[in-house]
Amino acid sequence: MASKVSTSAAANRAAAEAIVRTLRDAGHIAYFAGGCVRDELLGLAPTDYDVATNAVPERLAALFPRTSHVGASFGVVLVMMGHEVVEVATFRADGTYSDNRRPDRVTFSDPLADAQRRDFTVNALFLDPLDEAGTPGSPVRGRVIDHVGGLADLAERRLRAVGDADRRLAEDHLRALRAVRLAARLGFTIEAATGEAIGRHASELRGVSRERIGDEVRRMMAHASRAAAAMLLRDLGLEAPVLETKVSLAARTPATLASLPGETPVPTALAAWALDLGHDPASTPDAVNALATKWRQALCLSNDERAEFQGALLSLRALTMDWEGAAVARQKRLAAADGFPAALILLDAVDPTRAAQIRGRVRVLDGIAGGIRPVPLISGDDLQALGLRPGPGFRPILEQVYDAQLEGRVTSAEEARELARRLGV
């Protein structure tokens, strides 16, 4: 199956325009559709371009030699143009959504019906890229086709459901999270009726697969607008169904999320969100493990994401509880932990002065006895060569020898073996 990966927005736009031209030359209607139109009108660079047409999938396969029918029953075909992949969909009207995810059936239709079945008005705009006359006052090349008032909502920076908001939310409960993500990313307000409908349907989010919910949350947390998204989740009553927990309704600001760098990794952002939701940095390792397990289930986190989330909170706990006054070896071990860089990002957000002090100390530690993470001078094989019997006692001996190495009390393999011999007696 082909993947929608573009070498550049300009190249993808050119490919989409070529597809529109081919369809027009063959007697079909074809427009740019959805998010790419919205983003161009907002002066943003779309990540990719979608085309909507009255040509059915079989006709698309006949017109374009390289296609992948990823959703032909819904009228969706991927068309490959050189190195570019463009999603081309047949105009359609949707039937009922009995599974709250996809329509039970679709009917190929026209641009008006296609616009009316979409989620939000700003996502229901079409653009004719070949119309040189264009739309008066529009910043984009081509003519905008607006059947649902999306242009007015764009001008007001407002996110509004197409038609009846309750119906749109009932069709696909994940639209509530999409509304949050889009409003946060674009800096839009959610129109009152749409927001009220989201609140009424918030509990129904529990019926959506955890994988789909996790994907939406990842996209929120990967963007610099993550704090705004968290506030909208709270205000719209979506925190509890998203995290499968009872969340306090007390007003609070996601200050940690708001202080993170824009490019923060998702697991670190999730850890910051946990702090904003009341997780105590001094919580026991068992409590951190329980939280990581719960969030893994709620957000369908991968093993790596769970480990990074947990590691960030455990390292933050260590910096909170164990760093001050710790011996050189202990501080080096903490600084060498996988979660330490993420913990420093979190500490930057909650206590930047202390984070700077720890970074300064780490620079000092890096100049002591081979640095933060030197290669151990001896191994278990060396202990056996000394005549020590393999078993549980090996680990504490190796750890004590390594601590001595980290602190510069032993500086050679010979000194390390001698210390191990004394410890093993």
**Residue 93 pLDDT > 60, yes or no?**
yes
**Residue 208 pLDDT > 60, yes or no?**
yes
Just give the CATH number of 162-245: 1.10.110.30
What is the C-alpha separation between 392 and 276, in angstroms, rounded? 41
> Tell me, what's the pLDDT at 389?
85
**Residue 10 pLDDT > 80, yes or no?**
yes
**Residue 3 pLDDT > 60, yes or no?**
no
If one compares 234 and 4, the residue with the highest pLDDT of the two is 234
Pairing of strands 84-90, 50-53: parallel
Query: Are 405 and 416 a contacting pair, CB within 8 Å?
Result: yes
Angle, helices 303-321 vs 285-299, to 10°: value is 150
Contacts of residue 406, Cβ cutoff 8 Å, sequence gap at least 6: 328, 329, 332, 333, 368, 369, 370, 374
Task: Provide the pLDDT confidence category of residue 2 given band limits of 50, 70 and 90.
Answer: very low
Task: Provide the pLDDT confidence category of residue 108 given band limits of 50, 70 and 90.
Answer: confident
Angle, helices 340-350 vs 352-365, to 10°: value is 150
> Tell me, what's the pLDDT at 104?
57
Find tokens 């697991």 and name the residue.
267
Just give the CATH number of 1-156: 3.30.460.10
What is the C-alpha separation between 309 and 271, in angstroms, rounded? 6
Q: Please spell the DSSP secondary structure of 100-146, one letter per residue.
A: SSS-S-EEE--HHHHHHTSSBGGGS-EEETT-TT--TT-SSSSEEE-
Task: Provide the pLDDT confidence category of residue 7 given band limits of 50, 70 and 90.
Answer: low
| pLDDT tens figures, 50-86 | 999 999 999 999 999 999 987 767 789 999 998 999 9
The gap between the terminal CA atoms of the chain, to the nearest Å, is 63
Pairing of strands 106-108, 92-94: antiparallel
What are the domain boundaries of the chain? Answer: 1-156, 162-245, 266-372, 375-425
What is the C-alpha separation between 77 and 88, in angstroms, rounded? 5
Residues above pLDDT 70, as percent of the chain: 92
- Cα 214 to its chain centre, rounded Å, is 8
Q: How many residues does the chain have?
A: 425
**Residue 96 pLDDT > 60, yes or no?**
no
**Residue 247 pLDDT > 50, yes or no?**
yes
**Residue 401 pLDDT > 50, yes or no?**
yes
